[in-house]
Chains A and B, each alone.
Chain A
Amino acid sequence: MAETRDRLLTILQRQLGTVSTDSEEVAAREHAGWDSIALINLILAIEQEFGIVFTPEEASIATSFQTLLDLVVEKAH
């Protein structure tokens, strides 16, 4: 779990710059670089890193670090 979290965090930091993970509630809309367009590349990068595939419905709810982490953990295990 910790390793997955670190790998995911690395991807977000590379994609968006600094990312806060202090709270589950750090929502995408509160991060300047995290918009629907950036989300496409983010999703593709996460899929590449973990060898998983998100459905468009899953991608649409990926609005915070925590929801992304939950999705990755669920799909990767």
Chain B
Amino acid sequence: MSNPPGTAEEVANLLQAARDADDGEAFFSALRENAAVVRADLSLLTMASRLAEPLLTLPEPPGFRHLNLRVLRNATLEPWLPHVFVALVERAFIPSLSLGDFDVYEAYAFESTEDDGFDGLTLVFWDSDRLIGDSGFTSTERDYEVLRDRLENVLRALALRGPTAVCTLAPPSVDPSRVVTSHDEWSWERTRGRLNEDLLRWASEESSVVVLDLAREVARFGAGRYRDSRTHYAYQVPFGPEFMPVAADALAGLVSAVLGTPRKCVVVDCDNTLWGGVLGEDGPDGVAIGGEYPGNLYREFQLFLRSLGGRGILLALNSKNNERDVLEFMADSPNMILREEHVAAHRINWRDKAGNLSELAEELNIGLDSIVFIDDSPVECALVSSLLPEVQVERFPEDPLAIPDFISNLRGLEMVRVTADDLKRLASIRANGQREVLRRSSGDLREFLETLDIRLVVRRGTSDQVARVSQLTQRTNQFNLTTRRYTTSEVAEFVDSERVYTMSMEDRFSDYGTVAACILLDRGDGGVVFDTLLLSCRAFGRHVEDSFLLVVLRDLAARGFAWVEGEYRPTEKNAMVEDFFPGRGFEEVRVDGTSHFFRLDLSAGSPQSDVFSHGIQTEGF
């Protein structure tokens, strides 16, 4: 939810004024707030990306992140870039976009394996007409294999150079074999399907490759209308004007999933959202949910919400209702898809929803900026937007027929990979309730922690932990000493050079998976620095951070390091750890910019500590 958009002329004036004042914050904030207006006017769209150019190198305004995106292509993508630019700004990126020369992606991939200084994401776009139609493909298995090997080689070479996104192949304009037979095993269309399967498989094998499933977007949009014959054949532009913003938004969603901070929890209203009608007035038999219209549309929404659990995203309820009515309906109605066990937490009462959301965030140990709130009431949406601007507010449609589109267009929940730890989070959050009961019955914290039977495993980082460590750096904000975000390929490099430690945790209620990680920089003079040290919010309050630090320090001492430095780089969210190092015997030695550095001498031998008596194992030491 944002302020009411201005007219195109007002927005143009706003952007021009910000540009004239060299005010990056005003420019990108105005563009983000008015992205819908800008997208709807092609001249304004181009103007926005043109005016932004000199502002791209200014320091990041609060809430925005710089992003370098390079596009390798075999088609004319210049007209698409302004759409990409605005879609990325809408997701709080400040994008510097560059296009590789037309059709030279292979030269770029194989030319040199040396670092070319590019620090960002490379997108590979192959237009299927040019790739299949123009490549001499004559519909044989041999042709397919040649093409497959060519693409695989390019992709694997690019993967060595850094994070790479590749688009699946959209349908070609013309498939000659379709005219002849519908069962041609090596038709262009079936070849495209095979190649797309190959792309998805390669991406699953290469941690630095992700897939932009453009073919899926085309299928949703309409395979017969995603191109515009005139721009395609006259200028080799692969997308028609109407599909350009769709493809740009899909790319921005992927970038956001790779580099941004994804939302962790969806909080939904109940009446006219989970079901049609008002439970308290219409009664359990009067609300719409089930196999018939319009209940089947609400059922569709519930199926979607239930599926979020499979992606590690929490679900919570925030409803003005009688709690007992809702919980009984969820338990008893044969038509309900969602049951209480699918819900991590709920606030079903008559209090204001903003206050309820704050309580839910506290209970679930997540930030308000991790929440997507869905409600049909414009008043509730406005209230939450106004009081809790960090929350992503989505107004649920009044018309049930608009529900499928609402689901398809819901942003902020994109994930590149779902790790086993994502799924464990759900179980651990649900166990929180039981844990709270136990905590209240145990007066002493030490006694309480001991009853949890916490078991920790500290490891030197291994390749199978790369995705989770990268995810932790992207998602952890509060207990994060430096808040440096790393991609999987960057983490893979750290792991290769033995600079990563992780810790997983279990207690008598659940297995939390990997909850802590640190990345160390070898200073080369007998010392190491904590470049990153973080703890997932799932493990807060258990004092396991002390156990983790102790094991890491002991291993560093055993590896012969004489001293270790800890860095604290303050952000808006990590004040809770500002005293972490000084509170553990580290002494402040210097300040560099906003960072404070603390040192601990390891030469006296292994550090001792009065940590809680968690069961600690080590692996890989």
Contacts and interface: CB of A to CB of B under 8 A. Distances in A.
Interface of A: 10-11, 14-15, 17, 33, 36-37, 40-41, 44-45, 48-49, 55-56, 59
A15 to B, nearest CB: 5
Given A40-B76, A40-B79, A40-B231, A14 B237 contact: no
A28 to B, nearest CB: 15
B76 A48 contact: no
B12 interface: yes
A11 B237 contact: no
Contacts of A55: 230
Interface string B127-153: 000000000000000000000000000
B235 interface: yes
A49 B79 CA distance: 17
Nearest to A54: B230
Interface size classification for chain B: 10 to 19
Contact of B47 (A14, A44, A56): A14
A59 B234 contact: yes
Contacts of B46: 14-15, 41, 45
A13 B490 CA distance: 43
Interface stretch (B36-44, B507-515, B560-568): B36-44
A15 B47 CA distance: 5
Contacts of B241: 44, 48
Contacts of A36: 235
A48 B230 contact: no
Contacts of B79: 37, 40-41, 44
B47 A40 contact: no
Contacts of A15: 43, 46-47, 50
Contacts of A49: 43
Q: 6 closest pairs, A vs B, by CB? A: A14-B47, A45-B42, A56-B234, A14-B43, A45-B43, A11-B43
Contact of B78 (A11, A14, A37): A37
21 contacts: A10-B43, A11-B43, A14-B12, A14-B43, A15-B46, A36-B235, A37-B78, A37-B79, A40-B76, A40-B79, A40-B237, A41-B78, A41-B82, A44-B42, A44-B231, A45-B43, A48-B42, A55-B230, A56-B230, A56-B234, A59-B234
Given A40-B76, A44-B42, A59-B234, 11 more contacts: A14-B12, A14-B47, A15-B43, A17-B50, A40-B235, A41-B42, A44-B231, A44-B241, A48-B41, A48-B241, A55-B230
A25 B12 CA distance: 28
Contacts of A44: 42, 79, 231, 241
A56 B229 CA distance: 11
Given A40-B235, A56-B234, A14 B44 contact: yes
Contacts of A17: 50
B258 to A, nearest CB: 28
Nearest to A11: B43
A58 B46 CA distance: 22
Interface of B: 12, 41-44, 46-47, 50, 76, 78-79, 82, 230-231, 233-235, 237, 241
Contacts, number: 46
Nearest to B235: A40
A interface: dominant SS: helix
A40 B46 CA distance: 11
Contacts of A48: 41-43, 241
A33 B47 CA distance: 12
A54 B234 CA distance: 12
Contacts of B233: 56
B43 A37 contact: no
Contacts of A33: 50
B322 to A, nearest CB: 51
A49 B46 CA distance: 14
A16 to B, nearest CB: 8
Contacts of B82: 41
A48 to B, nearest CB: 5
Contacts of B43: 10-11, 14-15, 45, 48-49
A7 to B, nearest CB: 10
B238 to A, nearest CB: 12
A40 to B, nearest CB: 5
A14 B12 CA distance: 8
Contacts of A41: 42, 46, 78-79, 82
A33 B50 CA distance: 10
B78 A40 contact: yes
B77 to A, nearest CB: 10
Nearest to A59: B234
A75 to B, nearest CB: 15
Nearest to B50: A17
Contacts of A37: 76, 78-79
A59 B237 CA distance: 15
A55 B231 CA distance: 10
A74 B231 CA distance: 22
A39 to B, nearest CB: 9
A66 B78 CA distance: 25
A13 to B, nearest CB: 8
Q: Which of A11, A14, A37 has the most CB of B within 10 A?
A: A14
A37 B42 CA distance: 14
A5 B344 CA distance: 60
B55 to A, nearest CB: 15
Nearest to A56: B234
Contacts of B237: 40
Contacts of B42: 41, 44-45, 48
Nearest to A48: B42
A55 B228 CA distance: 12
Contacts of B78: 37, 40-41
Contacts of A56: 230, 233-234
A46 B616 CA distance: 68
A10 to B, nearest CB: 7
Nearest to A55: B230
Contacts of B235: 36, 40
A37 B102 CA distance: 12
Nearest to A37: B78
A73 B125 CA distance: 38
Nearest to B237: A40
Q: Which of B43, B82, B233 has the most CB of A within 10 A?
A: B43
